[in-house]
Amino acid sequence: MTDEVTAERATFKLGFRTEGNFVNCYLMPTVAGAGPIFLLSTMPLRVCQTDQTIFDDWKEIMKRALAVSMKEALGIESISMIEEEGPENERSSGGGH
């Protein structure tokens, strides 16, 4: 399970990665090969696999939280985001989401 939500023209993205029994949401740079900046949230993998709606809602909450943080920290009123699959080398081989 690796999905990415990238703020257009920004130098960061949200990365959702399956790691062991969890899906972790990281704030990550958009530079290829760079590691995560920091961990934002974790969800048990079994919950994400059992109910896709919960996973989708969690991703939406993370996007909204990022938008609120951008407004508070930088005064940016709105940001646009695009969702895309993560790079092949960052995707989980475990057959998760």
Q: Which residue has better confidence, 11 or 21?
A: 21
pLDDT of residue 93: 45
* Residue 17 within any structural domain of the chain: yes
Listed residue (4, 2, 41) closest to 18, CA to CA: 2
* Other CB atoms within 10 A of residue 90 CB: 14
Q: Is 82 helix (H, G, I), strand (E, B) or coil?
A: strand
Q: Which residue has better confidence, 80 or 40?
A: 40
Say how many domains are in the chain. Answer: 1
Helices and strands: H and E segment counts in the chain: 2, 5
Range 47-77 burial, b when 16+ CB lie within 10 A, else e: ebbeeeeebeebbeebbeebbeebeeeeeee
State which residues form the domain around 15: 2-82
* Residue 89 within any structural domain of the chain: no
Q: Is 44 helix (H, G, I), strand (E, B) or coil?
A: strand
* Residue 47 within any structural domain of the chain: yes
pLDDT digits (tens, 9 = 90+) for 42-84: 999 999 999 999 999 999 999 888 888 878 887 776 666 666 6
Checking if the pLDDT of 23 tops 90, the result is yes
